[in-house]
Structure formats: structure tokens, C-alpha cells
């Protein structure tokens, strides 16, 4: 058995395919990909777990993500350390949230753009 895998070649677009409201699943792992430059080729990525929608009484279309480390430590939404391990975004802000395959495509696009410099 080989320890190498084949990643099928594909065309990588300049725009990402973030997760949609309809696709997102509770307790699934996602990746928030942001960029620190205007050309959007220097990424910053956070691994998070989607923990629910509208967790506060006055919420409207609020999506809650928990930092992967605090999730693995077993901390829930209302733990004693506060809420610093959680990210809340609107439906419009889901444009930075990807499943693994699409996060990898964003990173590959960045790699290809940086390689051309």
C-alpha cells in the first residue's frame, strides 16, 4: 500500500465557494478564511465548529462558531471563561466560511498567485 495519494487536478477560480446557510450543519468543522492584503493572496485561517444559529434571544440570522481548541476541551457556549472562544457572524458574513475542500481551494489559489509574483 502506498503512502501517497493523488489529488485530482482542477481549475481553481479566483473567487471562493463558501458554505451556504442551507448546507451548514451543527457540530461540523468549518474554516474561516480571511486575508490580510487587498489582493487577497495572503490568507489567515481559523478552524471552527458550527454550534448553532440564533443562540441568544434577540438574534436574527446569527451563526455561532466555536474555536476548535475550546471545543475539544469540552467547553460549551455558556462556559465560565466567557465567550472569547466563539465567533458570531451574519448570513452575509458566511462568505468567509468554507468546508475543507473549498478552504483548500482558496489556499491553493493563494499559493498559485504568490508563485506568479
The string of pLDDT tens digits covering residues 10-33 is 888 888 999 999 999 999 999 999
Residue 14 covered by a domain: no
For residue 42, the model assigns a pLDDT of 96
Residue 93 covered by a domain: yes
Residue 66 covered by a domain: yes
Residue 67 covered by a domain: yes
Contacts of 68 (CB under 8 A, 6+ apart): 29, 47, 48, 49
Domain span at residue 102? 29-115
Our count of domains for the chain comes to 1
CA nearest neighbour of 16 among 100, 115, 116, 95 = 95
Residue 18 covered by a domain: no
Contacts of 84 (CB under 8 A, 6+ apart): none
| pLDDT over 70 at 104, yes or no | yes
Residue 17 covered by a domain: no
The string of pLDDT tens digits covering residues 28-86 is 999 999 999 999 999 999 999 999 999 989 999 999 999 998 888 777 766 555 556 88
pLDDT band of 107, cuts 50, 70, 90:
very high
pLDDT band of 98, cuts 50, 70, 90:
very high
Residue 44 covered by a domain: yes
Map grid coordinates 448546507 to a residue: 23
Residue 74 covered by a domain: yes
Amino acid at each position: 500500500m502506498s503512502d501517497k495519494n493523488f489529488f485530482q487536478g482542477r481549475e481553481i477560480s479566483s473567487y471562493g465557494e463558501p458554505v451556504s446557510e442551507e448546507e451548514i450543519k451543527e457540530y461540523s468543522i468549518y474554516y474561516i478564511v480571511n486575508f490580510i492584503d487587498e489582493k487577497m493572496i495572503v490568507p489567515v485561517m481559523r478552524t471552527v465548529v458550527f454550534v448553532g444559529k440564533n443562540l441568544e434571544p434577540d438574534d436574527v440570522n446569527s451563526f455561532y462558531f466555536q474555536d476548535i481548541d475550546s471545543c475539544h476541551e469540552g467547553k460549551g457556549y455558556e462556559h465560565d471563561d466567557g465567550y472569547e472562544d466563539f465567533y458570531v457572524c451574519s448570513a452575509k458574513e458566511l462568505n468567509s466560511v468554507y468546508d475543507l475542500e473549498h478552504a483548500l481551494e482558496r489556499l491553493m489559489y493563494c499559493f498559485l498567485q504568490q508563485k506568479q509574483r
